[in-house]
Amino acid sequence: MKNISLFSNSKVKFILPLLIVAGMLFGFKMANEPDPEKDKILIGLVRYALKQGHYEPHQINDEFSEKVFADFIDQLDPYKRFFLQSDIEEMEAYKHMIDDQIKSEDLSFYNVAVDRFLQRVEESKSIYKEILASPFDFTKEGSFDVDYDKKPFAKNRAELIKYWQMQLKWSTLSRLHEKIELQEQMANNPDEEGSESEGAGEDTSEDADVEPIEIKTFEELEKESREMTESSLDDIYEMMGDLDDSDWFSIFLNTMTMQFDPHTNYYAPKEKKRFDQIMAGKLEGIGARLQKKDDYTRVAELISGGPAWRGGELEVGDLILKVAQGDEEPVDIVGMRLDDAIEYIKGQKGTEVRLTVKKIDGSIEVISIIRDIIELEETFVKSSVVDIDNRKFGVINLPKFYIDFNERNFRNSATDMEQEIERLKAENVEGLLIDLRNNGGGSLKTAIEISGLFINDGPVVQVKYRGEKPNIRSDKNKKIQWEGPLVVLVNELSASASEIFAAAMQDYNRAVIIGSKQSFGKGTVQNVLPLNNYFKYPKDLGALKMTIQKFYRINGGSTQLEGVVSDIAMPDKYTYFEIGERDEKNPLDWDKIEPAEYTPVDVYENFHSVVNNSKKRIQDNPHFIIIDENARWLKKGRDDSTVQLNYEKYKAELDKREEESKAFDDISLYENNLEFRSPKYEIALVEQDSILAKKREIWHSNLKKDIYMEEALNVLSELKMNNKNLLVKN
């Protein structure tokens, strides 16, 4: 599984300021008593496993100790609203001792840090209650920098209270603005049933059955907003009261593992169970994979064909701030554990969930989704046929490199891809476009086999364990399933196995790679180790997911960090963001090894001219120009971390940004002139299955609005094969 992160820790200016509830994750008494014996066993097992098995083990020394110290404090109190500077100074006595304590299975630092934190959290309850008891003065000038990395810890309680005052004021201000905006909208656009009669001449006097809109004063709305802020904090404290020692200690262990790389994680027993369910592909709810980073629940991936994907409103990178069940009052989930947040979001098929999300442009939207069972079928290969200038081309969408080893006659992406190509060949398509956008990877075996469908035979990828020579994994089947023009479409979320396939096609000169400037950049392999397999203990010890291998291209370069650089880069809204593996903490470095023995070939007679033509079209295309301008605007907005605490200035700033955003409205209105249709074999299936028909209708409708698909097909239509060469011969 990939771990997708789109933003840095701070500097998101227009996040709905419910941040005040963030950090409450740890502010509760433990439901169960600590189990020091189990914790000591765990710390010893994890340390030994990392030392023996991690691809790039770190020395557990004073430098390591400093990093664990800083990161554990940050995990506990990222927004610096609980610890005092004196607490940090007191705990700094352990700053260079943690490495020795880890080696001796001593939990002193862990216990001191958690105990002090619990104390400060308990004290904070009276602070927020007292502050929220009185109205805020929103006519007063003031601003607040939400880049918490720049902030020191409070020197004393008085300064801590000042921090809380500003954060609570910001949180209340945001709610107040929402309430005022909603009231104005209702006043300007009253409900049709109450304002418009069914026939001309109907009674619209006071005696008519029309409910007047209650107009509340600024002071009344301010009071309601403060009460909502307080209620939110009360709920968070109450909800998290079931934290036990395993939750706390998991955080500490993961502070250790994150020093090695971002994909090495400890899973407590209940987290391991959830991981197994995800890997088994059993999904239900809204059809989104969610990620916890800092105090936010972030959309990491949309499941192809799922309710969220079909709706088209929820996007990767959206931050979910509130969750409402149908028309019920929404619950704030900022600062909530991912486990608990998921419990609110998932639900039975046919029920409605309303998500309040913060979009990448800073806007706040409420998105309604009807939950459904996520069918595995929608993660399978599917294809479409499109005509360009009376020539026929095939589009193949591959959401995952899937395989099921538990089934005797398992279905996998390689055999499905081979079958889909045969079906498209029967329709006499002249070229193939493989869409790997948002494909987070999957089976290495199928990635190699799919690569083999487009080459004669030869190396596809190099896989390397620590301290060993690389193992060259090759396609050994000389059969070439598709000999014609090939284009591979990728984006920033194409990761792992997707990058292996795209890199192989690029190294062999077999395909044009087009899309974002580079793919995700995950060039590592993880293995999950159930810890009870290594130590007999009556309680479940959970599991360790650990990076054990690294991928390398056949040209010797790693896909780590750099990903696959597109032959043709198209601007998108993430262009100026550090997205993917580069945005993770402590990623492994890029490096290079000896290339494998392979023979690139000159497959296309006009490769360079086609690439140059496309770059020129993109450069001159008004729609791509506005996409690039939007990306720069988004980056500028994200980098500005100061918010106003004066209502009029806060409102003016939001209004200004909303007005600026209108310049980019045309991006969502784009539509190409292409018509996509199901291949012939699927037409009968679509006619018999209304659900499948609806899914294909949505997919084809999305493709018609897709400028990236349009340009990729333009490239495909221009490619000419070099008749002097029959692909790859080693």
What DSSP line would sit under 357-421, residue for residue? EE-TTS-EEEEEEE-EEE-GGGGS-EEEEEEETTEEEEEEE---B---TTSTT---HHHHHHHHH
- Cα 343 to Cα 411: distance, rounded to the nearest angstrom: 31
- Whole-angstrom CA distances from 459 to 80, 412, 462 are 52, 21, 8
Phi, psi of 280 (to 5 degrees): -75, -10
Mean pLDDT (the chain, rounded): 86
Closest CA to 124 of 61, 176, 77: 77
- Cα 56 to Cα 217: distance, rounded to the nearest angstrom: 61
Instruction: Tell me, yes or no, if 522 is annotated catalytic.
Output: yes
pLDDT value for 572: 94
CB of 634 within 8 A of CB of 576? yes
Residue type, 81: R
Q: Is residue 62 classed exposed, middle or buried when 0-12, 13-18 and 19+ CB atoms within 10 A define those classes?
A: middle
- Cα 416 to Cα 420: distance, rounded to the nearest angstrom: 6
3-state SS track over 482-542: CCCCEEEEECCCCCCHHHHHHHHHHHCCCCEEEECCECCCCCEEEEEEEHHHCCCCCCCCC
Assigned fold of 281-374: Pdz3 Domain (2.30.42)
185 HSE (CA, 13 A, CB side): 6
Element (H, E) at 545: strand 543-552
pLDDT in tens, 25-84: 333 344 456 788 999 999 999 999 999 999 999 999 999 999 999 999 999 898 898 999
Closest CA to 457 of 436, 477, 481, 433: 477
380-718: CATH superfamily: 2-enoyl-CoA Hydratase; Chain A, domain 1 (3.90.226.10)
Section 340-356 average pLDDT: 88
pLDDT band (50, 70, 90) for residue 206: very low
pLDDT value for 149: 86
CB of 389 within 8 A of CB of 717? yes
Asked if pLDDT for residue 204 goes beyond 70, the answer is no
Catalytic residue, chosen from 39, 295, 507, 628, is: 507
Altogether, the residues listed in the chain come to a count of 730
Instruction: Tell me, yes or no, if 507 is annotated catalytic.
Output: yes
pLDDT value for 566: 98
pLDDT in tens, 290-341: 887 666 788 987 876 789 988 889 998 899 999 999 988 898 888 777 877 8
Catalytic residue, chosen from 80, 382, 522, 550, is: 522
pLDDT value for 300: 84
pLDDT in tens, 429-445: 999 999 999 999 988 99
Section 127-154 average pLDDT: 93
391-397 and 382-388 beta bridge pairing: antiparallel
- Whole-angstrom CA distances from 510 to 114, 437, 453, 583 are 56, 19, 11, 30
- Cα 370 to Cα 354: distance, rounded to the nearest angstrom: 9
**DSSP code of residue 84:** B
Closest CA to 720 of 608, 566, 616: 608
pTM of the model as a whole: 0.79
- Whole-angstrom CA distances from 528 to 40, 279, 489, 525, 551 are 21, 11, 31, 10, 18
pLDDT value for 310: 83
Phi, psi of 541 (to 5 degrees): -95, -5
Closest CA to 259 of 98, 493, 115, 79: 98
CB of 395 within 8 A of CB of 433? yes
Section 577-606 average pLDDT: 93
Element (H, E) at 548: strand 543-552
pLDDT in tens, 527-547: 989 999 989 999 899 999 999
- Whole-angstrom CA distances from 127 to 160, 194, 349, 699 are 9, 45, 42, 52
pLDDT value for 172: 95
Residue type, 280: A
The C-alpha angle with vertex 111 and arms to 110 and 117, in degrees rounded to 5, equals 90
Instruction: Tell me, yes or no, if 585 is annotated catalytic.
Output: no
Which value, in Å, is the radius of gyration of the alpha carbons in the chain? Answer: 28
pLDDT value for 195: 37
CB of 95 within 8 A of CB of 30? no
Query: Domain extents for the chain?
Result: 19-172+221-262, 281-374, 380-718
pLDDT value for 197: 34
Largest Cα–Cα distance in the chain?
Answer: 89
pLDDT band (50, 70, 90) for residue 277: low
Asked if pLDDT for residue 729 goes beyond 50, the answer is no
CB of 470 within 8 A of CB of 462? yes
- Rounded to 10 deg, the angle between the 622-639 and 707-718 helix axes is 130
- Cα 437 to Cα 433: distance, rounded to the nearest angstrom: 12
First to last CA, the chain: 34
pLDDT value for 98: 97
Asked if pLDDT for residue 372 goes beyond 90, the answer is no
Q: Which residue has the tokens 């998921």?
A: 342
Q: Tell me the three state secondary structure of residue 461.
A: strand
- Cα 514 to Cα 719: distance, rounded to the nearest angstrom: 13
Catalytic residue, chosen from 5, 174, 225, 496, is: 496
- Cα 532 to Cα 524: distance, rounded to the nearest angstrom: 25
Section 631-647 average pLDDT: 92
Most confident of 166-170, 403-407, 502-506: 502-506
